[in-house]
Chains A and B, each alone.
Chain A
Amino acid sequence: MSPLRDQLVSFIAALRAAGVRISVAESIDSMNAVAAVGLERAPMHEALAAALIKDEADRAIFDESFNRFFAAPRANRGEHPDHRGDAVSAAGGRGRPGENPFALPRDDALARDREEKSLPSEAKPAKQAAAARRHGAEKGKDAEPGKEAEPAKDARRLSDRMRGRRERGEAQAPEESPTPGIDATRVARIRAIERMPFDKFSDLDYDEARDALAPLIRRFRIRLGRRLRLARTGRIDFRRTIRAALQRGGALIDLNFRARRPRHVDLVILADISGSVRYAAQLMLELMAGARGCFRRVSSFVYVDHLAEADFEDGHLVMTPALDLYARSDFGRVLGELWERRSGLLTRAAIVVIMGDGRNNRMPARADLVREIVRACRGVVWLNPEDPARWGTGDSAIKQYAREVSALVPSRNLRELQVALAAIA
């Protein structure tokens, strides 16, 4: 059984590396689940999914990894047509491309490439060994007719295949991390990207940060939901308290409180997407788009020298109308446009989040408008991706805005950005 266990452990490690969160308890569950349903491919597939995948969004990653790890026997593989393919499920190779919200990490794709290339040369000895063993099994069967149960056979075939894979794996895996379960390099890379200042970002880093974003979004959503929910009034509902007391001879034993209403928060996001801060702005917009459900209404805008509505389609930022990204940013004018055209959004329930460096190219800052907006809304929070040491230098008008906004928070990297956003709600 132990090759199967090892295989499952490395399967789980691969899922973790792809961003699925799996606890030790869940991995033990998955082993028990496989023990319960047996090794037929389709039930095993569903059993592992039930034990390991707790969010339907991860299902696509799971399906793909499963197909990679537990490949269905090929039609031309194996010499016993009567036994071949009984375990090949209807579900074999069932991928659902439309559902994959997170791209598979690049290292997995690389590994797959490598595996496919190495298959023709290295699969052969494994296959021969498997054939030999099967031949032996056939002999054993002749000696003791009827003793060889079908599941045992399946098991052997499966473990044969896995042994083959293992041998292949050993031949080609010197550079991979020796401990299965923790892909240390990947974790380290995510950590690094979380701490990397936005102004040092390249396009490549941005892509990598977006890969890291998927699990972050989920954690963020849970955190946010909790914060919004914990806000309670704690006022006694007099009528219900008295009614309850009537049943108990008038003794006020149970206090009934007013039902908590979920706090409704409207969010208005303004993000500067001019060259200097665009990575920070896009990552923030994407993070917030993932947490959209936690708010009553989210209106996202991007700006350079004008205001434009922002939306996410398949992970790409779409803005209407399109902005000239190379124009000189003018936040004063943007504030004016917001105040005149979109004042309907600025209500008591609204929190305005502004992401930008406040470098206004020496145009009028219009901090007075920020003051008006603060008065109309619940609050205005400014996230500044610039190093605080540089605030107020050169053409930065951030000091003028700082006097008016409810909070000014540095968010130089992904980690600071997350903390700042969670604190807003």
Chain B
Amino acid sequence: MDLTREQISDGLRRALYVTNERVETAIFLALALEKPLLIEGPAGAGKTEVAKVLAEILHTELIRLQCYEGLDEARALYEWNYQKQLLRMQAGEQQGLRWEELNEHIFSRDYLLERPLLKAITAPSRVVLLIDEIDKADEEFEAFLLELLSDFQVSVPELGTLKAHERPAVILTSNRARELSEALRRRCLHLFIDFPGAEQERKIIELKVPELDAKLAAEAARFVGAIRKLGLRKPPSIAETLDWARALVRLGVRELDTDAVRTALGVLLKHEDDRVKVESKASALAPHRR
């Protein structure tokens, strides 16, 4: 099933994902051309969310592979269920089965533990495969992915080649902890998601935290946008902005003055030096002074 661009922008809106033309076009193309989509951008700008929302739009399952250093094929692709095989062998011995007969049994799909990549390939219908933070994985793993992403097939020596019935929609995300290889980039479509502007962030806050007063939401969005420009160690993500907005609601804040900014700063900033930096400038940044 192919979606039109209108359906996608509709779906994004219904999933409360505020976005722009660039994101819509990239998602549409990834589906239309059946190509993986590589999303880059600062942490917390909503990269992973794209995959979740896409699964929602397609009414399908999201299979997620979280990458980390040392991730190998056994964790990502498949592994033989060794315990089960051992049990089967012991049972077989007692029944007096010959090795060839046993062999057929213990190397069948029943004894295969499917890890995310294989699960995405063997799924009966189209799924969304999210390969999260690919930059954290090793180079070897990236090279291994190349084969998978171009053909969507995997060969298991004992079983032969498994090919995807329906190509999964693949989303890769990267925080640029290291440079990805050109080969991987070449095979993907590319999308850069930056932090939203004040207006877009206000819309996000209004959609997700409707309890917050509209005027306050606009001020909060502007404030967060301003502190992201301070060159902090960890600029606040969109999720943290939303948490902060919820905190403001719970604290019963009426207007964003210096004190209100100070009380809930821990929700927004997760480093002590960041907090000190923002607090020292709080009076200049807060829209209202006291």
A-to-B contact residues, CB < 8 Å: 21, 23, 25-26, 29, 32-33, 36-37, 42-43, 46-47, 49-51, 53-56, 59, 90-91, 218, 221-222, 225-226, 229-230, 247-249, 253, 259-260, 262
- Pair A46/B25 contact, Cβ less than 8 Å: yes
Known: A222-B181, A229-B139. A51 touches B29 (CB 8 A): yes
| Cα–Cα distance between A47 and B31 once the two chains are bound (Å) | 12
Q: Which of the listed residues B40, B139, B189 has the most CB atoms from chain A within 10 Å of its own CB? A: B189
Instruction: List 6 tightest A-B contacts by C-beta distance, closest first.
Output: A46-B25, A54-B185, A36-B32, A56-B192, A50-B189, A50-B26
Q: Is the interface of A mostly helix, strand, loop or mixed?
A: helix
Q: How far is the CB of A263 from chain B (nearest CB, A)?
A: 13
* Interface flag for B179 (CB, 8 Å): yes
| Cα–Cα distance between A280 and B225 once the two chains are bound (Å) | 41
Closest to B194 in A: A56
- Pair B185/A247 contact, Cβ less than 8 Å: no
| Cα–Cα distance between A46 and B23 once the two chains are bound (Å) | 9
- Pair A46/B33 contact, Cβ less than 8 Å: no
Residues of A near B83 (CB, < 8 A) are 247-248
* Interface flag for B21 (CB, 8 Å): yes
B29 contacts which of A50, A90, A226, A229 (Cβ < 8 Å)? A50
* Interface flag for B178 (CB, 8 Å): yes
| Cα–Cα distance between A50 and B185 once the two chains are bound (Å) | 11
Closest to B181 in A: A222
Residues of A near B38 (CB, < 8 A) are 54
- Pair A43/B70 contact, Cβ less than 8 Å: no
- Pair A56/B40 contact, Cβ less than 8 Å: yes
- Pair B33/A32 contact, Cβ less than 8 Å: yes
- Pair A225/B33 contact, Cβ less than 8 Å: no
* Interface flag for B182 (CB, 8 Å): yes
| Cα–Cα distance between A253 and B25 once the two chains are bound (Å) | 48
- Pair A225/B26 contact, Cβ less than 8 Å: no
Q: How far is the CB of A284 from chain B (nearest CB, A)?
A: 20
Besides the known contacts A46-B25, A47-B29, A50-B29, 17 further A-B residue pairs in the complex with CB atoms under 8 A apart: A21-B182, A23-B186, A25-B186, A25-B187, A36-B29, A36-B32, A43-B21, A46-B22, A50-B191, A54-B38, A54-B186, A54-B190, A90-B21, A222-B179, A249-B86, A253-B82, A262-B69
Closest to B86 in A: A249
Residue contacts A-B, CB under 8 angstroms, 28 given: A25-B186, A25-B187, A26-B186, A29-B33, A29-B189, A32-B33, A36-B28, A36-B33, A37-B29, A43-B21, A46-B26, A49-B22, A50-B25, A50-B29, A50-B37, A50-B189, A50-B191, A51-B190, A54-B38, A54-B185, A54-B186, A55-B185, A218-B179, A221-B179, A222-B181, A247-B82, A248-B83, A248-B86
Residues of B near A59 (CB, < 8 A) are 192
Residues of B near A21 (CB, < 8 A) are 182
Closest to B79 in A: A254
